[in-house]
């Protein structure tokens, strides 16, 4: 009976079958694509890693459609990212496994290995965890398998879209002061107030000191923040924006004339520059002040009169109502149109004696301010910049602002109380609490009064400047366009640490491939036998003859493992050493038991009756 003959047909170039014979083995060369196809996958990973690195360096961001999709379907995006990360990680792992595979296949041509070692190399080449390995092999394999998960994890961290910001340009309309004819003092009389407008965006008026009293009182009372955090106070309109810290009299266009920016749903905020007045307030006690309260012929009418440092032509005179002078807080401001109007003089009755004889100086310096608008939190942050040319040389704006203090003090005094004095008192009390929270050194009543009063006057002056700027925009339509840097929500792919890590890792893999290619001269001696292919193993084992089976039977039960992990007991033949025998004319190889002629014994403790039979080549 003729035995069956098996023939293994490799994917090789048949024209190269007659290659050179070295050491008795026929080396059948691979086609280029068959040998190197796995390494070409590094072109994909290198291109992507380089793109991610460039995107991080140049801060490329994805906006528009891609941002909306990622924001609306985060689960789907996460799934796609995981699949892509697994694919790119698979390329790296496959390349490394191919290097391991090629290295052992070259080594098998000249050295023998035990079956346990062969299993270990198989597990490293896949990679996988073989729970039946001896512990000295199991833990290294487990570690390598764990490391094989790292490339996919790095790719996930490098490609996951994150919410970031990018910049673009926008336009905002700033208040213009070319025409300031409506910025002036209006009498506190019914029907004599200045122009005003009420719409969905808020209430806007040129009689700020009269028709915005409620907002100004709130600013005065909360001017001194409690604690170390800056105060947050709302803007005088319905835009729902708030200032963090001082407004410095700018920021009026926010929410009013920035529609070209806020209409972009992806806009996160913007920054622009606006010229305004930096108001520096200095308050002192002036015990020699000429401004005093005095009764009149009418027992319910009291007169606050006297000269101020900047009074011209005549003394300042204003009337206040009250049962007596105890509840009166009167503020004097120069009334002359020629006066620079830089001073406030306060005289008060016994109920507000701590405010009596105080005096404040207001210096308005034209300054270019940086305005930062956070659209997501509806916050405005203003910081002073460099000095700027005076945009209102006639100083209609500043003189009118200072005069509002006299109007408010008169309007906010009734028979029983001064609302303005109570607001100042609230600011003073808040300053005392703030001082106590940051310092153990107590301050005197005079120090607290001066500090709280300074904060209130500063806050009110800033807010009045914003109110007049808003009136210029909404009532007088006096505006000028200015550019703004707009921060737009966008997608950033990956975090910097992961991007740099995967780029370096990809580079190391490339260097490793190049080093192996140089060391092995492009794997020139690589045979076609692949221990990962069960067809090759079966055929090569059958070529080794029956001696392999006989030796395995002799090893059975003699080299039993004493300990195994989560598996069935070992059959005891893992220590059997084998080697690959030289191929025939067609490049076929045989797996045989390693013998003494190879300079080593097949068994470290062989049976006494062991006798190595001669090796007879078997051709299938």
- Predicted confidence at residue 483, as pLDDT, reads 95
Cα distances from 89 to residues 83, 93, 146, 155, in angstroms, run: 10, 6, 13, 7
Which residues neighbour 80 within 8 Å (Cβ) at sequence distance 6 or greater? none
User: What are 450's two structure tokens?
Assistant: 């001066």
The pairing of strands 343-348 and 21-22 is: unpaired
- Predicted confidence at residue 598, as pLDDT, reads 45
571 falls in which pLDDT band (50, 70, 90)?
low
The pairing of strands 358-374 and 379-387 is: antiparallel
107 falls in which pLDDT band (50, 70, 90)?
confident
164-216: per-residue pLDDT in tens?
Answer: 888 899 999 999 999 999 999 888 766 678 899 999 999 999 999 889 999 99
273-293: per-residue pLDDT in tens?
Answer: 999 999 999 999 998 999 999
User: What are 220's two structure tokens?
Assistant: 């005065």
User: Do residues 108 and 580 touch, judged by C-beta distance below 8 A?
Assistant: yes
- Predicted confidence at residue 388, as pLDDT, reads 95
- Predicted confidence at residue 600, as pLDDT, reads 40
Q: Quick one: which of 467, 337, 334 has its CA closest to 405?
A: 334
| Rounded Cα distance, 64 and 70, in Å | 10
Tokens 């191919």 correspond to what residue?
98
95-119 average pLDDT score: 84
The answer, yes or no, to whether residue 6 has pLDDT greater than 90, is no
464-511: per-residue pLDDT in tens?
Answer: 999 999 999 999 999 999 999 999 988 889 899 999 999 999 999 999
User: What are 431's two structure tokens?
Assistant: 């300053």
- Predicted confidence at residue 585, as pLDDT, reads 57
CB atoms inside a 10 Å sphere around CB 585? 10
21 falls in which pLDDT band (50, 70, 90)?
very low
233-241 average pLDDT score: 92
User: Do residues 247 and 382 touch, judged by C-beta distance below 8 A?
Assistant: yes
- Predicted confidence at residue 532, as pLDDT, reads 79
pTM: 0.69
Q: Quick one: which of 329, 336, 340, 337 has its CA closest to 304?
A: 329
- Predicted confidence at residue 340, as pLDDT, reads 86
At CA 420, angle to CA 415 and CA 424, rounded to 5?
Answer: 135
User: What are 28's two structure tokens?
Assistant: 């059948």
Q: Could you tell me which residue, 205 or 550, shows the higher pLDDT?
A: 205
Q: What is the dihedral of CA 58, 59, 60, 65, to 10 degrees?
A: -170
555 falls in which pLDDT band (50, 70, 90)?
low
| Rounded Cα distance, 308 and 316, in Å | 8
């Amino acid at each position: 009976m003729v035995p069956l003959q098996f023939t293994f047909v490799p994917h090789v170039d048949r024209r190269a079958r007659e290659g050179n014979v070295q050491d008795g083995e026929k080396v059948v060369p691979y086609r280029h694509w068959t040998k190197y196809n796995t390494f070409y996958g590094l072109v994909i990973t290198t291109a992507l890693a380089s793109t991610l690195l460039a995107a991080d360096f140049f801060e490329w961001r994805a906006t528009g459609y891609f941002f909306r999709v990622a924001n609306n379907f985060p689960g789907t995006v996460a799934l796609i990212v995981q699949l892509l990360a697994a694919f790119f990680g698979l390329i790296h792992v496959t390349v490394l496994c191919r290097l391991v595979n090629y290295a052992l296949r070259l080594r098998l041509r000249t050295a023998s290995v035990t079956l346990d070692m062969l299993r270990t190399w198989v597990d490293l080449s896949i990679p996988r965890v073989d729970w039946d390995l001896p512990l000295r092999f199991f833990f290294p394999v487990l570690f390598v398998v764990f490391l094989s998960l790292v490339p996919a994890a790095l790719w996930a961290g490098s490609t996951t879209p994150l919410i970031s910001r990018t910049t673009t340009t926008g336009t905002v309309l700033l208040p213009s002061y070319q025409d300031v004819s409506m910025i002036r003092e209006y009498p506190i009389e019914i029907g004599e107030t200045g122009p005003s407008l009420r719409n969905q965006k808020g209430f806007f008026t040129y009689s700020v000191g009269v028709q915005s009293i409620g907002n100004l009182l709130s600013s005065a009372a909360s001017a001194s923040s409690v604690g170390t955090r800056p105060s947050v106070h709302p803007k005088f309109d319905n835009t729902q924006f708030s200032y963090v810290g001082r407004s410095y009299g700018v920021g009026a266009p926010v929410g009013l004339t920035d529609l070209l920016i806020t209409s972009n749903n992806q806009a996160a905020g913007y920054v622009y520059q606006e010229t305004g007045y930096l108001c520096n307030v200095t308050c002192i006690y002036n015990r020699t002040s000429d401004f005093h309260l005095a009764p009149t012929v009418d027992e319910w009418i009291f007169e606050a009169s006297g000269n101020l440092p900047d009074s011209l032509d005549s003394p300042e005179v204003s009337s206040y109502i009250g049962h007596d002078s105890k509840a009166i807080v009167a503020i004097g401001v120069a009334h002359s149109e020629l006066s620079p109007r830089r001073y406030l003089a306060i005289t008060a009755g016994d109920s507000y004696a701590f405010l009596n004889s105080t005096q404040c100086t207001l210096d308005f310096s034209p300054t270019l301010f940086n305005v930062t608008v956070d659209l997501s939190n509806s916050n405005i942050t203003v910081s002073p910049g460099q000095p700027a040319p005076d945009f209102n040389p006639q100083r209609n704006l500043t003189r009118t602002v200072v005069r509002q203090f006299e109007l408010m003090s008169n309007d906010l005094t009734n028979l029983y109380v001064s609302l303005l004095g109570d607001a100042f008192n609230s600011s003073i009390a808040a300053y005392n609490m703030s001082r106590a929270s940051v310092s153990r050194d107590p301050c005197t009543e005079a120090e607290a009064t001066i500090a709280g009063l300074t904060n209130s006057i500063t806050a009110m002056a800033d807010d009045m400047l914003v109110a007049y700027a808003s009136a210029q925009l909404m009532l007088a339509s006096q505006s000028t366009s200015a550019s703004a840097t707009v921060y737009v929500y966008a997608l950033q792919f990956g975090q910097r640490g992961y991007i740099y890590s995967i780029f370096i890792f990809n580079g190391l893999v490339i260097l490793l491939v190049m080093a192996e290619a140089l060391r092995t001269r492009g794997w020139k001696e690589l045979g076609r036998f692949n221990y990962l292919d069960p067809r090759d193993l079966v055929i090569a084992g059958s070529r080794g003859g029956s001696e392999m089976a006989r030796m395995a039977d002799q090893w059975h039960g003699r080299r039993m493992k004493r300990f195994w992990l989560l598996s069935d007991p070992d059959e005891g033949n893992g220590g059997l050493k084998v080697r690959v025998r030289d191929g025939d004319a067609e490049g076929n190889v045989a797996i045989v038991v390693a013998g003494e002629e190879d300079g080593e014994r097949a068994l470290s403790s062989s049976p006494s009756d062991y006798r190595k039979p001669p090796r007879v080549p078997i051709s299938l």
